[in-house]
Structure 1
Amino acid sequence: MQGIYMQLSHIQEPRARQVALLPVSLLASSFMTEVVVALLMCPLPLNSNGAEMWRQLILRKPSCDVRDLLDLLLGSLKEKPVTKEGRASIMPLAAASGLCELLSVNSCMGRVRRIYPQLLLALLIQVHYHIGLNLPGYVAFPKDTKKGAQPSAFVPVRWVVKVVKTLLLRMGCSYETTFLEDQRGWELMEQAESHHRGVALLARAMVHYSCQELCRILYLLIPLLERGDEKHKITATAFFVELLQMEQVRRIPEEYSLGRMAEGLSHHDPIMKVLSIRGLVILARRTDKTAKVQALLPSMVKGLKNVDGMLVVEAVHNLKAVFKGRDRKLMDSAVYVEMLQILLPHFSDSREDVRSSCINLYGKVVQKLHGLGVAKKSL
């Protein structure tokens, strides 16, 4: 494969290129796994030669089995981009690049749809894995840069996000992708501290626009929530939480919805705590879950101690809906007072948006306390 790749750089005539590419499809028809592994070693980002070699697998006869090809790529997309020795592995990124080329071929869209939920979730998890991951020495190709400009650094996470966008668009999710553009969701997804927000925005958009594949994604996510490392779980949970808005959630045993969210309140990762709060708030909208969620309110608030200010603001904005639903009883005052104690340390946060949000929320909680008739000494 490397020989063909190098040879293509010196061949410009279209027919001659077709002849040079013919061995790719011939070999893939009998030795697809070996050919795919070889193509995964093509330099990244793919140039026109590498891209054409991927498309050759299904555009020219004899073509390989598209189903098997996609399954091989999905397998690579489920790997971590780090080897056992701690070195960066290009395999998942290369698989995403290969998938992106296959998505440009209309004839394989039916096969792609078959495993669309698996591909989408695998790619979103790869986005999380690739945050901050650099491949030393990799730069964008000159054809991707303006004339006279220096080649830009190749940022793996942005490339994976591009593949996510491409997959969504090819599956007919144009409204969802536009929504994320408008809400800066893609940018959020590319950053460690806000990745979960970007994923949640995507899931929320898919629920809003009634994506046909959501049921398949929902049932696929349930076992995924317990697998993998922290990054894997955060991405899966961020998506799952937004799907709790679906009517189909009623069919899921409570241990997988309310039970799992309640367990998340004691998770050691603050992001998981905030996601669990979000999930419980969504579940509280259902009359059969409201009382159970409200009973967990003290645990929700307590879990926000020593949590980053941005996450506190995110959680408290969600909690307001649960507070509004509670009866105005004096026994609620302890929860409000604890909320004040959590908000107060963030008055000196260096981030203005966090600082102002916490001060604003603090004032609203104080008003609520006065409405409950709590004496000033309780504060």
Structure 2
Amino acid sequence: SEREAYEFIVDFLEQEQEQLDKLKFLRAVSMLSGAVHAQADGTMDDFVPKAVLAKKIEAFILEEPLEVLVGPLRQQAMLCIVALRFLLCHFCWPPSLLHCTSPTCQTIQALDDMVQALMMENAGPSMVMLQSFLEIILPWLVESEKVHEQTRALGTISRMLRSICSFPELSHVAEFSMSGKLMGTLGLFCMNSNYEISMGASEALHYLFKVLVLHRITVPPAGPDASQTAWGRFPPQSFQKYLTPEERADVLVVSMGALTSTSRHDAQAASEMLRMILKFSLPEIGKVPEIVTFIYLHINSITEATAQETVKKILHLLARTYTDEVILTLFKIDDQSQRGARKPWEILASFPKGYEVIMEYLLQRLSPQPESRGDGDAGPALRPLQATRAIHELLLEPSRKMEMQAFYSPLFMALLFQISTLLVEGAAEAFQDQQHVTEWVDPISSTVEALKALMRSTGYSDLVSYIQKLRGWELLTSPERHHEGVALLARAMVVKNCWHNRPIFSLVVRMLQELEHENHLTALVFLTELLWSPDMAAIVDEVTLRMLASWFQCKEPAVVKLLLRAVEILAMHGNMVTWNGAEGAGCPLSSPFPLRALQPYVLNCCYSEDSGIVAETFKMLKCLVEQLTWEHSSAFLIQLAFTLGPFLEEESELLRLMAFESYGALLAKVSRRVLVFPLRHQVFNLLILLVLHLEDVNADLAASASSLCAPPALLSLQIARPALCHTATVLRWSKLKVIFAEKDTWTILRALLKKEASKALWFLKQSVTLFRSPQAPIRQAAVWFAGQILQTLSDAEAREVEEAFTALRDMQEDPDPAVSCLAVQTFYVLEAKEKRPVASSTSCFCIRRP
């Protein structure tokens, strides 16, 4: 108790003392000093004269060995001196008294000397020891509400800093981490309304700057006034140049902590200090998660308008520079607090320019393998799914609809590509393993929701509902039917005539110029469906055609089929037929019809090893021929006529039927005016083939071709006979046209040979070619017609067709009995009509002996 302490002190002063008694005496002095201090007008002199106690304590210190500076007795004596000094005065001593010889001045000087001695290590002060002192004094300075206590604390800090300024070297400088916290605290006290506190803080800050300039400057200042100039430019110069990133963060946290103060003056002072720091570009900052967490937890408690704007600006600047760390921290806090507060996201969306920078960076992070920002940055980085979540959060803020317009197209495609990537086997599970992805997050559905939010934020709410009505979102998230969903999404945008169709189309074209694009199939599906829009077809330029041509080299059947579909859609647009390159991107083509650039690639697909591609090509060619005009596409149609020739004898009944459909559609385009060489030559070259295919055995073709032909029918009725009739029309064969329309194959062949006897050798050549037909009825008709022609030839003409006789002889070995029998009969008939001896070596029939 205080009474026992007082009695012990009196007895102790009258007798010899041992070590334990000295310690007990010092504790008693500290206890009694505390009791006196608790009294309103108490003074130590009412109990024991302070001078007597001071002399006794001084004697204890002098009796201690000099080798031991940290002994328990010396430490306890220092605590007693502090306790007694606490009772000596309740005001700040002016500088003029610091050099006086009064007991008070001597006590203060003794304490300062002891503190300096404790900080010494080898040849210079230890910054670790200084930090230990500051960790005790700063809380006392900040938490105390008494002016005299704050003044004494500031004086102590000032004198400690002043004492180390004269040393050229300091030990453990790298371990001193309180510069930022100390600078922030002293800076705030510099703006205190009390003059004594403000001056004390200014003096301490002056010495702190001096320490930083002397021991952290990279280039030694020239001249005696260099340090004065450096700290005269505070706060920006000192904050940026002399503090580490972590210490700068401490300054910001200390300043923002003052913004939450109930004192209006303190909040304004902190706001002004932060405003001065932010007046210049923000340097590298450490402890970003700590700053963001502080803002998240205290933003609602900052009520002063200027202070709120300052904090918002800090968060905005951090988000622009440290987007990964800021957003990951917000996610972590959101997940821990069940996604309650939205204030930080509102702040990030409240700055137009910053919003654009953040969105642009998040857009880059949607890439599956984003590059780290900065050189050698080993900090946390946003993964694609996390970037998607951040974008979704920002899109939920309605304040930035105008700025969102610029990002709609790339963001739309990036989210669509991410859905495609996630649907790849195992991709969704890989995304779920990422850090900061909670269990309730489904990668695919969350990305779709972000895509919906993007569309709603840009004014396409009706489009979202329309796609939902068509069950497009379900298709989009289905691994088996994903590309159907992509196609439906594009078609819906065409139906709704969305304003962004054109920029999205141009963006996809640029993307597909990279042949190694990861999501090229999704991009091609989307591009192809957008072409249904006349506006999109009208802007197809040379760059687009060159891109499509390059993708025709791809070996993926799905890609080639999409390209064929794109060409077909282009041809179906009326404006594309008369396209002259004047519209679109201003890159006119050298040809009047844009598909001419794709012509060789389209026709080359007829020779693909994939039967599906060949079938798709023929299907497209038929539609293409129906859409094109001879005036603008004559070269393409003529080349197509030559290309289709070999496929009219295709062994596959389905492909053969489709080839005949294309050729029939082409013949329907031919008029007398355009039937000139080389098309006239090709029409005659395929004439016998058309006639003989009236015998085409394709009765079973109806079922396999039902998806392509409606209603299914025999090739002879559906294509061959109408094609023959049209051929007769353009050749002005009015009588033959009637025969072509009504008579059988044999009658037609006789009439044709009679009408065009001058072309008998040409007809013979065509017939011999059909000896190799995979269909026995056609081979039989070809053998019969060849025999008819050979019987009409003169001797001179017969000498020119030795190859035909050889081929006819070979047909005697045909696997079909009807064909081989007819070949034998024909051969004997021809020999019987020969006038010269069969054995004559000069006879043209000498090789025809069986």
* TM-score, normalising length: structure 2: 0.34
Pair 329,137 (structure 1): closer, same or farther in 2 beyond 3 Å: closer
Pair 219,297 (structure 1): closer, same or farther in 2 beyond 3 Å: closer
Partner of 1:147: none
Write the distance in 1 (CA, Å) between the matches of 2:599 and 2:403. 45
Partner of 1:215: 502
Partner of 2:412: 120
Residue 246, structure 1, aligned to residue 534, structure 2: yes
SS in 1 for 2:519: helix
Bigger drift between 64-73 and 290-299 goes to 290-299
- Compare relative contact order (CA 8 Å, sep 6+) and give the higher one, 1 or 2: 1
Residue 74, structure 1, aligned to residue 359, structure 2: no
Partner of 1:334: 647
Matches within 5 A, 1:276-291: 276-287=563-574, 288=577
Aligned amino acid, residue 116 of structure 1: Y
Residue 175, structure 1, aligned to residue 467, structure 2: no
Bigger drift between 119-128 and 26-35 goes to 26-35
Partner of 1:224: 511
Matches within 5 A, 1:169-318: 169-227=456-514, 229-244=516-531, 245-257=533-545, 259-287=546-574, 288=577, 292=596, 298-300=603-605, 303=608, 305=610
Residue 373, structure 1, aligned to residue 686, structure 2: no
Residue 162, structure 1, aligned to residue 438, structure 2: no
Write the distance in 1 (CA, Å) between the matches of 2:550 and 2:321. 44
Write the distance in 1 (CA, Å) between the matches of 2:521 and 2:649. 28
The answer on whether the counterparts of 1:127 and 1:161 sit within 8 Å (CA) in structure 2 is: yes
The answer on whether the counterparts of 2:392 and 2:450 sit within 8 Å (CA) in structure 1 is: yes
Write the distance in 1 (CA, Å) between the matches of 2:303 and 2:390. 19
Partner of 1:352: none
Which structure has the larger Rg over C-alpha atoms?
A: 2
Write the distance in 2 (CA, Å) between the matches of 1:160 and 1:45. 21
The answer on whether the counterparts of 2:524 and 2:562 sit within 8 Å (CA) in structure 1 is: yes
The answer on whether the counterparts of 2:515 and 2:551 sit within 8 Å (CA) in structure 1 is: no
The answer on whether the counterparts of 2:395 and 2:457 sit within 8 Å (CA) in structure 1 is: yes
Write the distance in 2 (CA, Å) between the matches of 1:274 and 1:318. 10
Pair 137,91 (structure 1): closer, same or farther in 2 beyond 3 Å: closer
The answer on whether the counterparts of 1:124 and 1:164 sit within 8 Å (CA) in structure 2 is: yes
Write the distance in 2 (CA, Å) between the matches of 1:180 and 1:301. 36
Partner of 2:347: 57
Pair 255,5 (structure 1): closer, same or farther in 2 beyond 3 Å: closer
**RMSD of aligned alpha carbons:** 4.8
Aligned amino acid, residue 399 of structure 2: S
Residue 260 of structure 1, CA deviation: 3.5
Pair 161,297 (structure 1): closer, same or farther in 2 beyond 3 Å: same
After superposition, the C-alpha distances for 1:198-243 in whole angstroms (9 at most, x for unaligned) are 2222222111111112222222222111237443322322222223
The answer on whether the counterparts of 1:28 and 1:63 sit within 8 Å (CA) in structure 2 is: no
Which consecutive residues of structure 1, in runs of 5 or more, have no partner in the other structure?
142-150, 344-356
Residue 110 (structure 1) aligned to one of 394, 402, 406:
402
Partner of 1:101: 393
Which consecutive residues of structure 2, in runs of 5 or more, have no partner in the other structure?
1-287, 373-380, 578-592, 629-636, 658-702, 722-744, 746-773, 779-850
Aligned amino acid, residue 540 of structure 2: I
Residue 105 of structure 1, CA deviation: 1.3
Aligned amino acid, residue 410 of structure 2: Q
The answer on whether the counterparts of 1:40 and 1:91 sit within 8 Å (CA) in structure 2 is: no
Partner of 2:323: 36
Pair 314,214 (structure 1): closer, same or farther in 2 beyond 3 Å: same
Bigger drift between 245-254 and 51-60 goes to 51-60
Residue 97 of structure 1, CA deviation: 0.9
Pair 36,208 (structure 1): closer, same or farther in 2 beyond 3 Å: same
Aligned amino acid, residue 65 of structure 1: G
Residue 268 of structure 1, CA deviation: 1.7
The answer on whether the counterparts of 2:319 and 2:327 sit within 8 Å (CA) in structure 1 is: no
Residue 28 of structure 1, CA deviation: 2.4
Matches within 5 A, 1:14-25: 15=300, 25=312
Write the distance in 2 (CA, Å) between the matches of 1:182 and 1:339. 41
SS in 1 for 2:312: helix
Report the identity percentage: 20
Pair 111,83 (structure 1): closer, same or farther in 2 beyond 3 Å: closer
Residue 165 of structure 1, CA deviation: 1.2
The answer on whether the counterparts of 2:648 and 2:656 sit within 8 Å (CA) in structure 1 is: no
The answer on whether the counterparts of 2:605 and 2:614 sit within 8 Å (CA) in structure 1 is: no
SS in 1 for 2:464: helix
Write the distance in 2 (CA, Å) between the matches of 1:368 and 1:329. 22
Residue 291 of structure 1, CA deviation: 7.6
The answer on whether the counterparts of 1:8 and 1:17 sit within 8 Å (CA) in structure 2 is: no
Bigger drift between 271-280 and 23-32 goes to 23-32
Partner of 1:144: none
After superposition, the C-alpha distances for 1:25-79 in whole angstroms (9 at most, x for unaligned) are 353233233442114435589645487365143367x8972222222222222x2
Write the distance in 2 (CA, Å) between the matches of 1:136 and 1:199. 24
Residue 100 of structure 1, CA deviation: 1.0
Residue 136 of structure 1, CA deviation: 4.5
After superposition, the C-alpha distances for 1:292-312 in whole angstroms (9 at most, x for unaligned) are 5788665455558266xxx99
Aligned amino acid, residue 720 of structure 2: G
Residue 124 of structure 1, CA deviation: 1.3
Bigger drift between 222-231 and 329-338 goes to 329-338
Write the distance in 2 (CA, Å) between the matches of 1:126 and 1:278. 25
Residue 283 of structure 1, CA deviation: 0.6
Write the distance in 2 (CA, Å) between the matches of 1:53 and 1:91. 23
Bigger drift between 189-198 and 21-30 goes to 21-30
SS in 2 for 1:211: coil
Residue 262 of structure 1, CA deviation: 4.3
Aligned amino acid, residue 372 of structure 1: I
Bigger drift between 289-298 and 215-224 goes to 289-298
Aligned amino acid, residue 360 of structure 2: D
Pair 177,294 (structure 1): closer, same or farther in 2 beyond 3 Å: farther
Write the distance in 1 (CA, Å) between the matches of 2:421 and 2:311. 31
The answer on whether the counterparts of 1:262 and 1:280 sit within 8 Å (CA) in structure 2 is: no
After superposition, the C-alpha distances for 1:337-376 in whole angstroms (9 at most, x for unaligned) are 5682599xxxxxxxxxxxxx97742665963744112899
Bigger drift between 235-244 and 361-370 goes to 361-370
Aligned amino acid, residue 508 of structure 2: L
The answer on whether the counterparts of 1:218 and 1:243 sit within 8 Å (CA) in structure 2 is: yes
Write the distance in 1 (CA, Å) between the matches of 2:614 and 2:477. 21
Partner of 1:131: 423
Write the distance in 2 (CA, Å) between the matches of 1:26 and 1:262. 50
